[in-house]
């Protein structure tokens, strides 16, 4: 059984990032499994209209206003006409939204439900419960997710978070981790000598990535250990703090700031070191630590969010997100590397067996199989569910759903179904259902996709 799937999100290439590459990789693998995937996102600059990517993935860059950090203006109904056109012309069965901060995704899920399609949602991030923005997002999420057929989270921590935020039944939520293209993250052919220990940090330099912890810890580590060097890659508002720290402690010869790193250069930076330090304060999954371990680095990371689930314990040293503990953990890692009690170069093979996009796509497909078996709910059932969302919000949501339904009737009258041309499909691949484990491991030559090189930064 092959499905026509529409991935809806505000976040997609050319913007670099984790959600973006997740959507692309999963879509690409789903196409390999014989499904048809279209991606719907808003336009980026002059990149408007319909484009094809490698593997026959069709991307609709819908012209829309962008309000904040590449998120489209959250209008409740304005996306419906276009979405309906795309859904009808591509004969979509499943609408799959990505990212809870994406207005496109939230709107798309609501309208898809109104049109009687199956819906799925993937949450990529963790949220708080206390501040105003989170409360608003959570309320909105409760609205759209109260009627979504299935929710996918990137880690179990993320699943718990989403279940709480959107008041969902945990049985409708699955945890499917991210993955990585392990071929692109091979360890160095000859590991760097252990006479000087090099610690690598690659992250966007934002407060939530724990840059303040780095500022506090790096001078202490440098003072304690003679031959330790740091390489810091990435850019962001906290870069200036790190530079001040370097100047204040006169560490110019021991701490190297690389600035923004292109995604395909990440491996080249990683293999210069033996230890990867990840001091993030919140993280739903943390693809970068998997990449680091795959490159044969020993990982020191804070025990926050979904990070503890990501790697087996022999590859990591966990620390509490505080200065003293990170310092202690890093010191332990340095001793371990020096004494040779860990063998980071062996990590790559383990990671390769643990994470592959093919596996992610397979599991996502199982979710699709499940939701396609569900019966689509009647309008009155949907309204009951929306009504239960809150005293005032519930009534508002019911109103929105009813207006949405009427809008669909109007669209059906104004742009009748029979006048919408059905688009031609890209030739589908021969479906390979049963894969031997060796095939799953050895990823084919199409794995390396040239256009990931568009990425400027590293998530």
Partner 1 sequence: MEQEKEATQKPVLSGLRVRNPTPSTIEYTVTTRPERWSRRFTTALVLKAIVVGIILFFILLKQDYCDNGLQDGLRNSILNLKPDINPKHLDLLRGRVHWYYLALLGFSGIWIASLRGYTEESLLVLRGLGVQVTTSSSSYFVKANTRFIPTSTIQDIFIHEGFVGFEVRFYMAIVVKDESEVVVVFPKLLPRREILENVWRGSRSLYEPEAKTQ
73 near partner 1, rule: CB under 8 A = no
Q: Which is nearer to partner 1, 52 or 68 (CB)?
A: 52
Select 328 or 423, whichever has its Cβ closest to partner 1.
Answer: 423
104 binds partner 1 (CB under 8 A): no
415 in contact with partner 1 (CB under 8 A): yes
Rounded distance between C-alpha atoms, residue 267 and residue 253, angstroms: 22
- Residue 156 engages partner 1 in binding (rule: CB under 8 A): no
Report cis status (omega within 30 of 0) of the bond before 14: yes
Does residue 421 belong to the site contacting partner 1 (CB under 8 A)? yes
Residue with smaller CB distance to partner 1, 81 or 390: 81
Residue 77 CB, shortest distance to partner 1, in Å, is 11
Give least dist CB 41 to partner 1, A. Answer: 13
Residue selected from 19, 39, 86, 317 as contacting partner 1 according to rule CB under 8 A: 86
Q: Which stretch binds partner 1 (CB under 8 A): 8-16, 79-87, 91-99, 152-160?
A: 79-87
In whole angstroms, the minimum distance from the beta carbon of 66 to partner 1 comes to: 16
85 binds partner 1 (CB under 8 A): yes
12 binds partner 1 (CB under 8 A): no
Report how far residue 308's alpha carbon sits from residue 456's, in angstroms, rounded to the nearest whole number: 28
For residue 409, which phi and psi values (nearest 5 degrees)? Answer: -60, -45
3-state secondary structure of 84: helix
User: Coil, strand, or helix at residue 105?
Assistant: helix
Please identify, among the stretches 295-303, 383-391, 417-425, 443-451, the one whose residues bind partner 1 according to the rule CB under 8 A.
417-425
- Is 82 near partner 1 (CB under 8 A)? yes
Q: Report DSSP letters for 10-43, one per residue.
A: S--TTS-SHHHHHHHHHHHHHHHTT-EEEEEEE-
Listing DSSP states for 233-300 in one string gives: E--STTHHHHHHHHHHTT-TTTEEEEES--GGGHHHHHTT-SEEEE--S--SS-HHHHHHHHTT-EEE
Which residues from 360-389 bind partner 1, rule CB under 8 A?
A: none
Q: Of the two residues 49 and 170, which places its CB atom closer to partner 1 in the complex?
A: 49
Residue 419, class by beta-carbon neighbours within 10 Å (0-12 exposed, 13-18 middle, 19+ buried)? exposed
50 binds partner 1 (CB under 8 A): yes
81 binds partner 1 (CB under 8 A): yes
Does residue 113 sit in helix, strand or coil? Answer: helix
Nearer to partner 1 among residue 387 and residue 415 (C-beta): 415
Measured from the CB atom, the residue of 318 and 415 that comes closer to partner 1 is 415
Q: What is the DSSP letter of 197?
A: E
Choices 48-56, 227-235, 377-385, 444-452; region in contact with partner 1 by CB under 8 A? 48-56
| Sole binder of partner 1 in the list 3, 60, 285, 386 (CB under 8 A) | 60
DSSP, residue by residue, 398-420: HHHHHHHHHHHHHHHHHS-GGGS
Distance in Å, CB of 87 to partner 1, minimum: 10
Token pair for residue 100? 């809870």
| E strands in 78-219 | 94-98, 118-123, 150-153, 173-175, 197-202
Distances (CA, A) of 166 to 110, 152, 191, 194, 346: 15, 13, 46, 48, 41
Assess contact for 298 and 277: CB atoms under 8 A.
no
Under the binding rule (CB under 8 A), the answer on residue 4 touching partner 1 is no
Q: Let me know if 223 is exposed, middle or buried by CB neighbors in 10 A (0-12, 13-18, 19+).
A: exposed
Nearer to partner 1, 89 or 220 (CB): 89
Residue from 45, 63, 193, 437 touching partner 1 (CB under 8 A): that is: 63
Site for partner 1 (CB under 8 A): which residue of 243, 331, 423, 441?
423
Binding site for partner 1 (CB under 8 A): 48-50, 60, 62-63, 81-82, 85-86, 89, 415, 421-424
């Amino acid at each position: 059984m092959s499905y026509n799937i529409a991935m809806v999100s505000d976040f997609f290439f050319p913007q670099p990032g984790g959600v973006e590459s997740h959507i692309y990789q999963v879509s690409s693998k789903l196409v390999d499994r014989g499904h048809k995937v279209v991606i719907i996102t808003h336009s980026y600059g002059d990149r408007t209209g319909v484009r094809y990517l490698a593997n026959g993935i069709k991307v609709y860059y819908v012209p829309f206003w962008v309000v904040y950090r590449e998120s489209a203006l959250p209008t409740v109904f304005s996306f419906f006409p276009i979405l309906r056109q795309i859904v009808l012309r591509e004969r979509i069965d499943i609408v799959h939204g990505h990212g809870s901060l994406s207005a496109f995704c939230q709107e798309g899920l609501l309208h898809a439900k109104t049109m009687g399609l199956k819906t799925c949602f993937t949450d990529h991030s963790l949220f708080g419960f206390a501040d105003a923005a989170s409360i608003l997002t959570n309320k909105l999420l409760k609205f759209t997710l109260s009627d979504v057929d299935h929710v996918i989270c990137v880690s179990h921590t993320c699943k718990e978070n989403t279940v709480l935020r959107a008041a969902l039944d945990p049985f409708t939520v699955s945890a499917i981790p991210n993955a990585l293209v392990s071929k692109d993250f091979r360890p160095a052919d000859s590991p760097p000598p252990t006479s000087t220990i090099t610690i690598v940090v690659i992250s966007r330099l934002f407060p939530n990535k724990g840059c303040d912890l780095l500022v506090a810890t790096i001078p202490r580590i440098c003072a304690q250990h003679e031959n330790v060097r740091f390489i810091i890659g990435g850019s962001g508002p906290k870069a200036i703090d790190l530079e001040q720290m370097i100047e204040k402690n006169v560490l110019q010869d021991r701490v190297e700031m690389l600035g923004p790193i292109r995604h395909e250069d990440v491996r080249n930076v990683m293999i210069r070191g033996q230890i990867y330090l990840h001091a993030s304060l919140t993280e739903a999954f943390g693809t970068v630590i998997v990449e680091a371990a795959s490159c044969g680095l020993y990982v020191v990371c804070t025990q926050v969010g979904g990070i503890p689930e990501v790697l087996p314990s022999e590859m990591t040293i966990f620390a509490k997100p505080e200065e003293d503990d990170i310092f202690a953990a890093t010191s332990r890692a340095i001793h371990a590397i020096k004494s040779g009690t860990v063998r980071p170069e062996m990590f790559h093979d383990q990671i390769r067996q643990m994470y592959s996009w093919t596996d992610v796509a397979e599991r996502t497909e199982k979710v699709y199989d499940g939701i396609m078996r569900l019966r689509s709910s009647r309008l009155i059932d949907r309204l009951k569910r929306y009504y239960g969302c809150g005293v005032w919000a519930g009534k508002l949501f019911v109103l929105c759903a009813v207006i949405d339904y009427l809008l669909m009737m109007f669209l059906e009258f104004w742009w009748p179904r029979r006048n919408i041309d059905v688009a031609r499909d890209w030739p589908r691949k021969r479906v390979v259902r049963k894969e031997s484990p060796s095939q799953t491991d050895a990823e084919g030559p199409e794995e390396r996709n040239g256009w990931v090189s568009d990425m400027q930064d590293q998530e």
